[in-house]
Structure 1
Amino acid sequence: MPSRKPADAIALLKEDHRKVEELFETFERARGDERKADLVRQICLELEIHTIIEEEIFYPACKGKIKDTDLLDEGYVEHDGAKVLIAELLDAPSSDEFYDAKVSVLSEMIKHHVKEEERRSEGLFAQARDAGLDLEALGERLKARKEELMTAFEADADLPPPETRSFTGHKLKQGEPLQAPA
């Protein structure tokens, strides 16, 4: 019998964090370009879906309700920084000379982001809980959207290039260098 995913939004998001941490650890031990490429694709898929559900559902629910709204702005910027590396990794062959370094930097960025969200008393999750948000209802919305995205991404072999929110005027297109606005 499959285990039921947690309905609480924070539990669901933390579960995503643990899964990505495990994938990064597996990448560190992996050998062979093909295995590394498979792991990076999994990491990027998980991160893309996670950032979408946070940005579409969780962050807007927190806006105006948590004490430290700078955490939301920082979260968006951290997501956008990760999206730049995700776009690079999805476009690069695993034999690229900077491939492992990009994965390592992405891992460090995500560790920092997770720490900011999960800090005990001042983190985003603690503040969301203290704000009295309906975390079960949010969790159900997150779970439904996540399942919808996973189905869509599994049906399409190529992940779409991530879109940034805070890096205004810059477009991320796989295979092209980052361009400043004209």
Structure 2
Amino acid sequence: MAEAKNPDAIALLKTDHRTVEELFEKFESAKGADRKQKLANQICLELTVHMELEETIFYPACEGKIEEDLLKEGYVEHDTGKVLIAEIEAGGPDEEFYDTKVHVLSEIIEHHVEEEEKRGEGMFAQARKADIDLQALGEQMAARKEELVAQYKKRGLPLPETTTFTQAKVA
């Protein structure tokens, strides 16, 4: 019973994936600038929280235990997503490329999800086989997610990032 309330890290991340996929589908069929803006803002919030959870909790726990290239690819895909999130957040549905930016973000995220969830060889499959306490990570991530969502709903998303994760690693 406790597991249903506190999913392991991978179950939590997969739930986030499904939520964002549904939001992207709603955006694609949405009519009206207000509706599109509301959906785009929700997409940006969900992705910002999700990426922070992966970058600060899940990926570090996987370092040295899964293929390094998968982790690096995950970070780079996040960086690409963050650039588009910043542009979407700074813009509005009346801008010429707004819908296109949301669409391209959905394609990047779709590829990212595929890499993480790929059966047998993806990041999640490798993490399940590794010596990682996914239950404890899930609990930590669920608690942090609550904090982040509350913080971002109160104060708004962080200022658009101009330095990506991979740039920061080099500095």
Contact 1:33/1:94, CA 8 A, preserved across alignment: yes
Q: 1:102 matched to which residue of 2?
A: 101
Deviation of 1:118 (Å): 0.1
Instruction: Pick the structure with more helix per residue.
Output: 2
- TM-score using structure 1 length: 0.87
Q: How does 1:20-169 map to 2 (within 5 A)?
A: 20-66=20-66, 68-162=67-161, 164-168=164-168
Cα distance in 1, alignment partners of residues 167 and 28 from structure 2: 29
Matched to 1:154, the amino acid is K
Deviation of 1:16 (Å): 0.1
Cα distance in 1, alignment partners of residues 5 and 96 from structure 2: 39
Overall identity of the aligned pairs, in %: 59
Deviates more, 1:151-160 or 1:36-45: 151-160
The DSSP-based 3-state class of the residue aligned with 1:85 is: helix
Runs of 4+ aligned structure 1 residues displaced above 4 Å come to none
The DSSP-based 3-state class of the residue aligned with 2:165 is: coil
- TM-score using structure 2 length: 0.92
The DSSP-based 3-state class of the residue aligned with 2:52 is: helix
Cα distance in 2, alignment partners of residues 40 and 11 from structure 1: 24
Q: Could you list the runs of 5+ residues in structure 2 that have no partner in the other structure?
A: none
The DSSP-based 3-state class of the residue aligned with 1:166 is: helix
The DSSP-based 3-state class of the residue aligned with 2:132 is: coil
Deviation of 1:132 (Å): 2.6
Q: Could you list the runs of 5+ residues in structure 1 that have no partner in the other structure?
A: 170-182
The DSSP-based 3-state class of the residue aligned with 1:122 is: coil
Cα distance in 1, alignment partners of residues 10 and 98 from structure 2: 32
Deviations 1:27-86 (A, max 9, x none): 0110001110000000000000000000000000000111x1110000000000000000
Contact 2:45/2:157, CA 8 A, preserved across alignment: no
Q: 1:11 to 1:99 in 2, by over 3 A?
A: same
Deviation of 1:158 (Å): 4.9
Deviations 1:74-103 (A, max 9, x none): 000000000000000000121100011101
The DSSP-based 3-state class of the residue aligned with 2:64 is: coil
Deviations 1:147-171 (A, max 9, x none): 11011111114543245211459xx
Deviation of 1:5 (Å): 4.4
Instruction: Return the structure number with greater relative CO, CA threshold 8 A, min gap 6.
Output: 2
Matched to 1:130, the amino acid is K
Cα distance in 2, alignment partners of residues 157 and 74 from structure 1: 28
Aligned length: 165
